[in-house]
C-alpha cells in the first residue's frame, strides 16, 4: 500500500506528540531552543540595517543568549537568598502575649506564623533541589538554540526527502508553516519586550529591588504562556517582601496582576491574534487543552501545532 504525503505528515505529527509525552524535558528544551533561534533573528534583522550582517548576527546571539543565561543563573541564588531572609523574619516573629488580644487569637496567629515559616522553608528546599535542573535547562537551551540555528539550513536543503508523493509541495508546506511560526515568535518578541519593560519600570518606580533581573526574567519567561508569570512571581514576591515587607509583597502582586492583565487583554489579542489571524479565544482554549494533556511541553507546542494543523488543512485537505 502506497502512503501519501498527507498520511505521512499526519504520522510525523503523531510521532512528535508521542515524543513530547514520553520525553517532555528534552523536547521542551529543543522547542525553546527553536523559539530562541528565531528570536535571535529579530534583533539581528534590525541591527543588519546599521552594521555588517554577520557581525549583527553574532551580536544578537551574544545579547539574547546572555540574557537567557543571566536570568536562569541568577534565578536560583536570588530565590534562595530571599527565601532565607523571609524564613528568618517569619521564624523570629512572635506576637507578644501582653497584647489586648484574646489568648486563643494569639495562639492561632503564632501557630499560623509557624506554619507559614515551615511552608517557606519547604519551598526553599524544593528550589534548592531543583537548582541542578535549572542549570541543566539553561545550558541545554543555549546549546539547542545554537544547534537549531545551524540545523535550519540543513533541514531546508533536505526537506524534500521527508515526502514521497510530491516533495516540492511538501517542502512548500513546511516553508509556509515555518513562516507562520516565525510570525508568531516575532509577535511574541514584541509582547515579551513590552512586558519586561513594564515589570522592570514598575519595580524601579515602586522601589522594589532587583528591577533589571525581574524585567529580564519577565521577558525570557513570557515565551512560556501561563507558566512564565508563575516563574517570575516567585522571586518578585520574595524581593517585594524583603524590600518593603507586607506592603512590598502587595506592590509586587499588583505589578504582576496588572502587567498580566495588560498582556492578556490588550497586547496578546492586538498583536498575536491579528498577526496569526486566529481568534484570541481559540488560542487560549488550545493552550489550556495542550497544557492539560502534555503539561509544560504542551504549553510550548500548542500554538506551533495549531499553526501546523491549519497549514496542513489548507495544503492537503482544502486544496486537494
Residue 211: predicted pLDDT = 93
First to last CA, the chain: 20
Residue 226: predicted pLDDT = 67
Residue 133: predicted pLDDT = 62
The DSSP 8-state label assigned to residue 295 in this structure reads T
Nearest to 191 by CA among 303, 53, 29: 303
Burial 279-311 (b: 16+ CB within 10 A, else e): ebeebbebbeebbeebeebbbbbbbbbbbbebb
Residue 204: predicted pLDDT = 95
Residue 271: predicted pLDDT = 77
One digit per residue, the tens of pLDDT, for the chain of length 320 reads 456 888 889 999 999 999 999 988 778 877 887 888 888 887 887 777 778 877 887 888 888 888 888 887 788 788 878 777 776 666 655 555 555 556 665 565 566 556 655 655 666 666 666 556 666 666 777 777 777 767 777 777 788 888 888 888 888 898 899 888 888 888 888 889 999 999 999 999 999 999 999 999 999 888 876 667 778 888 898 898 888 887 888 899 999 999 988 887 778 777 777 777 887 788 888 888 998 898 878 888 888 899 999 999 988 877 65
| Run of H or E including 52 | none
Q: How far is 293 from 230, CA to CA, in rounded Å? A: 19
Q: How far is 163 from 86, CA to CA, in rounded Å? A: 58
Q: How far is 278 from 116, CA to CA, in rounded Å? A: 44
Please state the pTM of the whole predicted model.
0.76
Q: How far is 80 from 75, CA to CA, in rounded Å? A: 9
Residue 206: predicted pLDDT = 92
The DSSP 8-state label assigned to residue 303 in this structure reads H
Residue 98: predicted pLDDT = 57
Residue 203: predicted pLDDT = 94
Nearest to 140 by CA among 65, 62, 86: 65
Amino acid at each position: 500500500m502506497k502512503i501519501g504525503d498527507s498520511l505521512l505528515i499526519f504520522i510525523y505529527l503523531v510521532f512528535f506528540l508521542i515524543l513530547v509525552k514520553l520525553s517532555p524535558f528534552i523536547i521542551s528544551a529543543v522547542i525553546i531552543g527553536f523559539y530562541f533561534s528565531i528570536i535571535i533573528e529579530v534583533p539581528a534583522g534590525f541591527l543588519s540595517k546599521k552594521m555588517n550582517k554577520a557581525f549583527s548576527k553574532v551580536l544578537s546571539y551574544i545579547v539574547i543568549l546572555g540574557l537567557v543565561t543571566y536570568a536562569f543563573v541568577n534565578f536560583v541564588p536570588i530565590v534562595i537568598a530571599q527565601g532565607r531572609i523571609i524564613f528568618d523574619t517569619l521564624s523570629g516573629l512572635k506576637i507578644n502575649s501582653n497584647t489586648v488580644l484574646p489568648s486563643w487569637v494569639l495562639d492561632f496567629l503564632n501557630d499560623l506564623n509557624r506554619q507559614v515559616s515551615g511552608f517557606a522553608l519547604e519551598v526553599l528546599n524544593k528550589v534548592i533541589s531543583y537548582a541542578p535542573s535549572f542549570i541543566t535547562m539553561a545550558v541545554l537551551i543555549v546549546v539547542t538554540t545554537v544547534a537549531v540555528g545551524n540545523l535550519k539550513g540543513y533541514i531546508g536543503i533536505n526537506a524534500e526527502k521527508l515526502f514521497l508523493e510530491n516533495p516540492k509541495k511538501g517542502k512548500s508546506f513546511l516553508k509556509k508553516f515555518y513562516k507562520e511560526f516565525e510570525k508568531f515568535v516575532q509577535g511574541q518578541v514584541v509582547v515579551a519586550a513590552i512586558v519586561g519593560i513594564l515589570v522592570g519600570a514598575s519595580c524601579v518606580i515602586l522601589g522594589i529591588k532587583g528591577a533589571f533581573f525581574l524585567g529580564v526574567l519577565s521577558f525570557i519567561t513570557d515565551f512560556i504562556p501561563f507558566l512564565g508569570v508563575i516563574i517570575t512571581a516567585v522571586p518578585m514576591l520574595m524581593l517585594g517582601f524583603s524590600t518593603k515587607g507586607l506592603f512590598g509583597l502587595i506592590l509586587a502582586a499588583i505589578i504582576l496582576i496588572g502587567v498580566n492583565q495588560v498582556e492578556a487583554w490588550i497586547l496578546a489579542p492586538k498583536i498575536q491574534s491579528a498577526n496569526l489571524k486566529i481568534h484570541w479565544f481559540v488560542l487560549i482554549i488550545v493552550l489550556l487543552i495542550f497544557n492539560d494533556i502534555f503539561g509544560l511541553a504542551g504549553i510550548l507546542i500548542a500554538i506551533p501545532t495549531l499553526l501546523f494543523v491549519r497549514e496542513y488543512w489548507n495544503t492537503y485537505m482544502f486544496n486537494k
